[in-house]
Structure formats: structure tokens, C-alpha cells
Amino acid sequence: MRRIAIALVLFLSGAAASAAQPAPARPKPASAKQVPQSGHCDVGVISHLGEKFHVRQIGITVFGNESNEVFVESWRIDDLVVGRIAGALSKRATVRRIPYHKEAFASLETTKLFRDIDAEVGEGVRTLAAGTHCARYLVVTDGISGYGGTNQGLDGLGIVAGKKPYFTGDLYNLYTLILLRVYDGETFTRLKRKFAATGESTFMAMISGPHREVDQSLWPVPPDAAVQNAKLRDAVRELVGQSLDATLPELPL
């Protein structure tokens, strides 16, 4: 239940105030293909992935746990997502970016005992898509994963520090947990729901989803320093791109 609650809160979180630090230079677009904002549309993309970066410390006991959120909109992750999708589909589909507004998903903010989250998201997509007439809509949001054998959950984009097996040292992992939903452009029924993957083995993995073991040098101190760390930003963007490249062929687009 805790992991489900985390996923819901993150999906519903709207645009928040950007970090006070000056933004780093804007990275180059992931694709040279221009994403049209009008005219014919095969796939409308709604991306709400790149607002926050999580810096997580998971200790042996609960007293060793620490969680911080850093606002990294200046990393342009959502621009990367749309550009990567447009590039992947360029030979067979016209892609249009659909702006995300949290108000479209206001119904999800009410607590219900029984609910169909995918159907409610579909109604939000219907609101956002008004007037765009795309054949399909692809919604890209935070995914979730447990962490090893602990009761701790991870979500979205982040870096986590934990103990290696048998407490032989610290283990640092970068992760990009992404959930993709495809909706029909006429009925707004969900056609596919899939967590992104890069084809890596999940056997005995600490994280179920795209991740990469990294050196301690990428660990941001203090956590807010992450937003200015170009090496960390580029590593996250690379892993997001790999995750999308591996998963998009499995979607009905």
C-alpha cells in the first residue's frame, strides 16, 4: 500500500517552484526532429517525469533512512522524452506534445476505496487532449520499485545509497523508473500499461527497473547540489533515453 500511495502522490504532483539556483546550460535536444504543435497527429505525448530527482539513503535500520527531493526541471527531461519518442516514431507517425496540467487529474486527489486508476487517468487525458484529435495518447510518468529485501520503495528518477550484500561497503545506484500508458484517441480507453525496462536481468537485482551502479562521486552533497551536477544530469538523461528506446517497440503506437 505504501508503494501505491507513493506512486499516486507523485503522479498527482503538479508543477512546483523551481530550485533557487541558476539553471545549467540547456542540453542539446535528443532529436533534431521538430515536434509539431498543430495539424495531423498520430501520437500525442503527455510527459510528467522530469520535475523531481530523488536522493535516497537506505540504512540497515529505519534510523539510517533519508529521503530528499530536488527540483530538476532545468534538466529538460520531459523535452528529452518527447524528442526521443518523436525520433523513434519519425518514419511512421507524427508526434505532438500535449502540455500537462495537474487540474486535469483532480479527481484522483479524492480518496476512494475502490477505483480504476487507469480509467481515471484516461479521463484526464481526454481533458488535456481536447481539440488535438490524435489517434493514440502516450502518458509518461513515474514508475515504482522496491529496494532489495527492504520495505523501502523507490519512484521516478533518482540515486540511492544502500549497503552491499553482507555489509561489504556502500552501493550507489542511479535509477529511472518510468511508467508508460497508451490510450485510444477516440474512446480514451487504456490500450497498454508498461513499466520501462532496458532488458537487464532482474534476478537478485536491488531495483526492478532501469538502473545503473555508479561511483560515489555522483552522490550529491548536499542533495540540492544535484541540480548543478552536469555529470549526474547527463547520466540520468542517458539512462532515460535507453529506457525509452528499449520499451517503445513494445507499445501499440
Mean pLDDT of 9-35: 42
pLDDT at position 166, please? 60
DSSP 212: E
Mean pLDDT of the chain: 85
Of the listed ranges 28-32, 41-45, 141-145, the one predicted with least confidence: 28-32
Give the tens place of pLDDT for each residue, 113-157. 888 999 999 999 999 999 999 999 999 999 999 998 888 999 999
What contacts 185, CB < 8 A, 6 or more positions away? 44, 129, 133, 134, 135, 136, 137
Share of the chain above pLDDT 70, in %: 83
Dihedral sign, Cα of residue 136, residue 141, residue 147, residue 153: negative
* pTM strictly above 0.85: no
pLDDT at position 167, please? 61
Give the tens place of pLDDT for each residue, 108-125. 878 888 889 999 999 999
